[in-house]
A = this chain, B = another copy of it.
Amino acid sequence: MIDGEFNYRYAGVQRVLGILLMIFSVSMLLPVAVGALYGDGELAAFVIGFAVTLATGFMAWAPTRQVRRELKIRDGFLVVVLFWMVLSLFGAIPLWLAVRPDMSFTEATFEAVSGLTTTGATVLVGLDTLPHAILFWRVLLHWMGGMGIIVLAVAVLPMLGVGGMQLYRAETPGPIKDSKLTPRIRETAKALWYLYVSLTLISALLFWAAGTSVFDAVGNAFSSIATGGFANHDLSLGYHGSAAIELVAIISMLAGSVSFGMHFMVWRNADPRIYWRDSETRTFVIMILAATTIATVVLMVAGTYVGLGDAVIKSLFQVLSIGTTTGFTTTDYSIWPSFLPMFLLLGGFVGGCAGSTTGGMKVVRSILLAKQGVREISRLVHPNAEIPIKMGQKVIPDRVVQAVWGFFAVYVTVFVLMFLILLSTGLSELTAFSAVAATINNIGPGLGEVSSNMASIPAAGKWTLCLSMLLGRLEVFTLLVILTPAFWRR
């Protein structure tokens, strides 16, 4: 039975997707349990969603269950892209079916994409009155998406060679056996899974200890470790009005924005100094502190907050929240004075460390871009000098530097194209610019009309932003490559 019509080129991909869908379907039973516990309904939407997803997954898997084709590198691109696209569509089903909130297909898909890509941009208002099942589903999408991103960033993308990510091959846990994807991914994924679950548990306990409800503790933990940003309240974390809770959020977001390969090494060696010895992590922390200082100074000069302590806390929280591309808010930073709103939003382009759940271009790429810029200026003074580009002690091969350049150029190009498309839907320049920035970098909230939610964006714009979120999450190249004819040639 392993030969025949179902042993075709993409049988392996279909098999993996079928399995993923069946696993994913089971996750829809969790909101059913939560909804039953709190007794505020919308259980049917999730039960139907579960059944449809499970059935589809089974139908995809069953004919290929005997197939033993190894996944090839190229199949990896397909699996990754389909993982986010297909799971987003099925994840949208319960949101679409639910009576409260009453969402269109477009809105439900947007919310599910925003969840799975850990963007956290919402089209919902009135969160505080929504059923618990719905709220839980949103943060669960974040949490599952975050797990997927780490496997993607630590194990899959470096192997696929996307945008200079091969930099991270040597640093990821586990041996590199060969070019076959499955064994390596499985091994790495297991270690990451333990870490991810442990960090989430700790975060939830801390949130709960700081005074949130159990429901919010779990929700905030899911949302912050995944640097997602969905909250259970319209006021985001500002709802709690508690410095302790904000502190827990800060720690959790930081945990989510450092490479999980780094967490792994710290854990294995029981040596937290490893964080500081890593130049990417160090640069990330320094950048956050520098940006916080700038924000504090501007806020104090403008007199936005009366006390220095208040300004420092608000600055740190908001800089970290946007800089890690989480997107929680404790205040409406979009009306902060001077250049601050745009400064924070543009900071999201840098994002967190590679191998974390954050969006954006990643700190390591920004470092390489800066070093290359400085090198070019040095070369004008010393035209014949050979100036290698290093990260720590390691000389970065030209091929990797080139990949990072290509990444940057394509990122900017894709950004500009989507910005123009958004403008064509009639949005203002600020709204269109910040909506694309907030989605391609998987931040969540933007400026202008999209500073708290994206409900007012026209449908065509919402679909464009779905693409934007996926492009950002898939590091642009992963999605673009499957659009090339060369990809589909055998």
Contacts and interface: CB of A to CB of B under 8 A. Distances in A.
B342 A423 contact: yes
A373 B412 CA distance: 11
Interface string A448-490: 0000000000000000000000000000010011001011000
Contact of A419 (B160, B342, B377, B378): B342
Given A378-B484, A381-B486, A429-B429, A338 B406 contact: no
Give the most central of A74, A408, A426: most B CB within 10 Å: A408
Contact of A430 (B74, B163, B346, B430): B430
Interface stretch (A109-117, A200-208, A397-405): A397-405
Contacts of A410: 373, 376-377
Contact of A420 (B343, B378, B380, B423): B343
Interface string A157-175: 0001111000000000000
Nearest to A429: B430
Interface in A349-374: 369-370, 372-373
A347 to B, nearest CB: 10
A402 B376 contact: yes
Interface in A409-447: 409-410, 412-413, 416, 419-421, 423-424, 426, 428-430, 433, 447
A420 B339 contact: yes
Given A398-B398, A409-B369, A377 B484 contact: yes
A306 to B, nearest CB: 22
Interface residues of A, number: 56
A317 interface: no
B338 A162 contact: no
A381 B429 contact: no
A51 to B, nearest CB: 38
A372 B420 contact: no
A282 interface: no
A377 B477 contact: yes
A381 B342 contact: no
Given A342-B420, A429-B342, A406 B373 contact: yes
Nearest to A383: B161
A401 B398 CA distance: 11
B380 A162 contact: yes
A375 interface: yes
A426 B298 CA distance: 13
A62 to B, nearest CB: 31
Contact of A378 (B160, B398, B424, B486): B486
A344 B419 CA distance: 13
A380 B408 CA distance: 16
A431 to B, nearest CB: 10
Nearest 9 CB-CB pairs, A to B? A376-B406, A339-B423, A339-B420, A405-B405, A338-B424, A429-B430, A373-B410, A339-B424, A380-B481
Given A338-B426, A369-B409, A429-B429, 13 more contacts: A74-B381, A338-B423, A338-B424, A339-B420, A339-B421, A339-B423, A343-B420, A370-B413, A373-B409, A376-B402, A377-B410, A377-B477, A408-B409
6 contacts: A346-B416, A372-B409, A373-B406, A376-B405, A376-B406, A376-B477
